[in-house]
Chains A and B, each alone.
Chain A
Amino acid sequence: MKATSLKRNHKLYSGLDDRIFDLTVKIILLILGVMALYPLWFVLIASVSNPSDIFRGRVFLLPSGLNTEAYEKLLHTPKVWTGYLNSIIYTSVGTFINLAVTLPAAFALSRKALPGRAVFSVFFIFTMVFSGGLIPSFMLVRSLNMVDTMWALVIPGAVSAFNLLIAKSFFEGGIPESIYEAAIVDGASKFQFFFRFALPLSKAMIAVILLYYALGHWNDYFTPLIYIRTPDLQPLTIVIAQMAATLDTTLLEVMPSEEAYQLLMENSLMKYAVVFVGALPMIILYPFLQRYLIQGVMLGAVKG
């Protein structure tokens, strides 16, 4: 949200207390901003530094030189690239299914003429309040033979009731009943109207729920952890977890030697690189996504 709409009437009175206030705000904002940025920054500079410099505490604000060794190694680590590719496939297929199922349903629910509208709404809302939980869902997916396939990741969660409600209330407000009825009277079918009018008029909302769904797929770790067994089918999150987020017992305690130390340093450099590679897509896309994320909060807030 733009924080600029406060009228600049502080010029009226600008005593010492106000200047202290302004300064305090500035300092707090600076501290919070730097604290938010620093972890990612450190991972980046550490990933291109000489590992022994990191160990001597010389890498803190700027990288020591430019050491692309870790990234070159990553380039030759096929599982990172299969992970990337799998994540891209799961995210695009999954999001496509999400939208293909959610949007028509939301539009249908938004029309007052729909018989049994309240019943259908409750049918979906109930899933937000109570669910069978992990185990019964797992047994179901398993008995449908979807374990270890992409379908386990993209079909069971095809409808999120939350996104469905956001889309529904957007259609209610954005596509007036009168226009819809006029188009139907003029001979348009429901589907024609949906594709030619309702969807093009709802681009802002579609962008928001597309983003929500896509983020959900891209960042999902737990679902593939449960359902995907074959290494070649693992998405990026699982690969990162295996390479960087697993906690290794420190070699140094077991056998403190020069080689162990060297190995440890090389390993940790790889970790920096793989974590940064994992965060990279979001960092690149972030400037384009920020607007929609904020809009999404607003759409959700209107709903709540």
Chain B
Amino acid sequence: MLLPAIAVTFVFSYLPLYGLQIAFKTTRLGANYLNGDWIGFDHFVRFFNAGWFGTIMKNTVLLSVGSYLIAFPFTIMLALMIFNAVNKRLAKFTQTFTYLPHLLSGVVVIGILNLFVNGETGLINIFLRLTGQETISFFGRNDMVLPLYIITNLWQHVGFSAIVYLAALNSIDGSIVESARIDGANKFKIMMKIQLPWILPVIVTMLILNMGHILNVSVDKVLLMQTDLNISASEVIATYVYKAGIQGAQYGFAAAVGLFNNCINLAMLLFINWLSRRINETSIF
């Protein structure tokens, strides 16, 4: 029963590890792509010494960490608001429509974004024009990439990420809240002093789990947001690997860049795991 799964995983997850040797070889085209000459770390050195290395690293970290750090407080706030709502129908409404975007593909999300911010036809620019203000070329400006990426991420994922915290809030012992009420605590105090500390372990765990993907950026969304004008703010490792490797056929070089990315991710994961074992004596593995 295990055999099909093992076969598929071996072929498509382990064989590529063997194929990683092209990161250390000259690129040969054709079927014998593994037959290039060994060149050691040349591809890596070329990547590190390139002028845009710093830019790409900065963009990657900014987009992933930035969107994550901003989404985090929103997620927790949403969970607390839904949980503390007196009007359950309103809570249900908000819950339903904040989950929904999680099901949509990045393409649809960027398509919607496009209709709001694109050139002359986007809703925001129509509004700006009608009120006599200067229209904004959202996709033509470097300083717009991060905000737009963050906003789409918030819209897509905040509601869904809140589920975990809602579940944790639901497990609060009612008698604690009751005695706090009797002692005269108001709802705000209960939220800050009971509910928030109660979900703190979950918050820490989620933080740790997400640190393992520190360099992962939603590649389809970034690719779709990229233009020649904002490239110096929107080029990230994943889009760079795609362009150099798949489009540019520099397989060895692109594989080296990808390998570098995966090594950083792995190192982060191990580091966070070590850290969490030291701090709260739990680890993921």
Contacts and interface: CB of A to CB of B under 8 A. Distances in A.
Q: Do A and B come from one complex?
A: yes
Interface of A: 1-7, 9-10, 12-13, 15, 17-18, 21-22, 25-26, 28-30, 32-33, 35-37, 39-40, 42-43, 46, 54-57, 100-102, 104-105, 107-109, 114, 120, 123-125, 127, 129-140, 143, 155-159, 161, 164, 190-191, 194, 215, 218-222, 225-226, 237-238, 240-241, 244-250, 252, 264-265, 267-268, 271-272, 274-275, 278-279, 282-283, 285-286, 289-290, 293-294, 297-298, 301, 304
B138 to A, nearest CB: 9
Contact of A265 (B88, B121, B224): B121
B24 interface: no
26 contacts: A3-B85, A4-B88, A10-B187, A13-B181, A18-B188, A29-B85, A36-B155, A39-B155, A40-B112, A42-B115, A102-B5, A105-B5, A132-B16, A132-B262, A135-B245, A140-B15, A159-B9, A220-B105, A222-B220, A222-B223, A237-B105, A247-B114, A252-B120, A268-B121, A279-B112, A301-B164
A135 B1 contact: no
Contact of B177 (A6, A17, A55, A139): A6
A30 B100 CA distance: 16
- Candidate in B111, B119, B120, B251 with the most chain A CB atoms within 10 angstroms: B111
A130 B85 contact: no
Interface stretch (B45-53, B54-62, B63-71, B89-97): B89-97
A297 B85 contact: no
**What class of interface size applies to chain B in its complex with A?**
35 or more
B262 A7 contact: no
A117 B91 CA distance: 45
A195 B146 CA distance: 49
B105 A54 contact: no
A290 B22 contact: no
A133 B20 contact: yes
A36 B111 CA distance: 16
B110 interface: yes
Pairs A-B, 7 closest by C-beta atoms: A132-B16, A133-B258, A219-B105, A105-B5, A136-B19, A33-B94, A136-B16
B87 interface: yes
Contact of B6 (A9, A120, A215, A219): A120
B121 A264 contact: yes
A4 B92 CA distance: 10
Nearest to B242: A134
Contacts of A140: 11-12, 15-16, 19
A218 B274 CA distance: 37
Contacts of B238: 134
Interface string B1-13: 1101110110111
B153 interface: no
A191 B1 CA distance: 8
B158 to A, nearest CB: 8
B184 A13 contact: yes
B280 interface: no
A57 B251 CA distance: 49
B163 interface: yes
Contacts of B5: 101-102, 104-105, 124, 158-159, 164
Given A9-B174, A35-B155, A247-B118, 13 more contacts: A6-B83, A7-B178, A17-B186, A29-B82, A33-B90, A129-B212, A135-B245, A159-B5, A219-B107, A220-B105, A244-B115, A245-B107, A279-B108
Contacts, number: 324
Nearest to B270: A129
A293 B100 CA distance: 10
A275 B108 contact: yes
Contacts of B184: 13
Contacts of A30: 90, 94
Nearest to B114: A245
Contacts of A12: 181-182
Contacts of A220: 105
A164 B266 CA distance: 21
Contacts of B203: none
Contacts of B99: 290, 293
Contacts of B119: 247-250, 252
A133 to B, nearest CB: 3
Contacts of B251: 135, 139
Nearest to B188: A21
Contacts of B116: 39, 42
B111 A244 contact: yes
Contacts of B98: 32-33, 36
Contacts of A139: 16, 19, 22, 33, 251
A18 B187 contact: yes
A268 to B, nearest CB: 4
B6 A123 contact: yes
B279 interface: no
A21 B242 CA distance: 50
Interface in B98-145: 98-108, 110-112, 114-116, 118-121, 123, 126-127, 130, 139
B57 to A, nearest CB: 17
Contacts of A241: 107, 110-111, 224
A107 B100 CA distance: 32
Contacts of A13: 181, 184, 186
Given A123-B9, A134-B246, A241-B224, A107 B85 contact: no
